């Protein structure tokens, strides 16, 4: 079995949190490429029903031709009305018991050299932070009504050790991590298991054109399922686990590593 380093937080209650990896209905945002697509494939191959969302209708159409067993749903998650519509459409087909908030955008920004329009900054925050919170709020009644369910929020190692070139991305992922921890405490005595996936530098369309050693999206997805299987609260595949350990010992050194990285 491959080795997937991950961190298991202490249990907040005595409930059994190990996840059954088959027979679930899984909704994955941003599932047309990258980590989202790899997660969709991994969940499907484990024997689950798959819903994926994407902003591009063309990408969804191509994906549905390749995976006719999946259900594709178009939605711009930066728009609250489309989140409400998305949940309504999903529920017409079947209530998911696994929600994966994966969709995200990342933009380089130098406030001294390239001041951006406020709307562009807000768009990144809406997709990376506001959308997962709104989607969870809409879906929580259905998740709570089931015997066992999972919320998996995909953050980033850059949310823990930020890099100067991606300030909004780092800030939004750090905020999503904090929100995930708070939500986990609130739902500790329910049947909803709240987990966080913290990918390292991953080979995805978001990172194309950037130098550096990347882990494959498939490795990240396999680590996610392995972590959920064993009840992990925080899953840090590969170098994300090493960076976390370094950051706990020397935040300054961890920051130097990230700034010097890809």
pLDDT tens, residue by residue, 155-182: 999 999 989 989 999 999 999 999 999 9
Q: What is the pLDDT of residue 22?
A: 92
Mean model confidence pLDDT for the chain: 88
- DSSP annotation of 11: P
Residue 70 has pLDDT above 70, yes or no: yes
pLDDT tens, residue by residue, 214-241: 688 999 999 999 999 999 999 999 888 8
CB 176 within 8 A of CB 155: yes
| C-alpha R_g of the chain | 18
Q: Which residue among 37, 44, 169, 179 is the active-site one?
A: 169
Strands (E), the chain: 25-28, 49-54, 71-74, 98-101, 149-154, 192-197, 202-203, 215-216, 234-235
CATH number of 25-260: 3.40.50.720
**Average pLDDT, stretch 82-99?**
96
37 is catalytic: no
């Amino acid at each position: 079995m491959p080795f997937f380093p991950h961190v298991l937080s202490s249990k907040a209650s005595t409930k059994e949190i190990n996840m059954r990896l088959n027979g679930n209905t899984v909704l994955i945002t941003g599932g047309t490429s990258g980590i989202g697509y790899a997660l969709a494939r991994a969940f499907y191959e484990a024997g689950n029903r798959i819903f994926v969302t994407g902003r591009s209708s063309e990408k969804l159409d191509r994906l549905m031709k390749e995976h006719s067993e999946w259900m594709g749903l178009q939605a711009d998650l930066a728009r609250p009305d489309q989140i409400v519509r998305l949940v309504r459409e999903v529920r017409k087909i079947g209530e998911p018991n696994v929600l994966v908030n994966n969709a995200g955008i990342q933009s380089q920004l130098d406030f001294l050299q390239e001041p951006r329009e406020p709307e562009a900054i807000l768009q990144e925050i809406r997709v990376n932070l506001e959308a997962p919170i709104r989607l969870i709020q809409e879906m929580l009644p259905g998740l709570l009504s089931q015997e066992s369910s999972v919320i998996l929020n995909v953050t980033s190692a850059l949310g823990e050790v930020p890099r100067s070139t991606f300030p909004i991305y780092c800030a939004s992922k750090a905020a999503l991590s904090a929100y995930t921890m708070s939500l986990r405490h609130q739902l500790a005595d329910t049947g909803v298991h709240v987990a966080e996936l913290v990918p390292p530098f991953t080979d995805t369309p978001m990172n194309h054109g950037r130098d550096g050693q990347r882990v494959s999206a498939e490795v990240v997805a396999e680590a996610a399922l392995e972590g959920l299987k064993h009840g992990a609260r925080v899953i840090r595949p590969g170098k994300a686990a090493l960076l976390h350990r370094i950051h706990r010992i020397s935040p300054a050194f961890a920051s130097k590593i990230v700034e010097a990285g890809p």
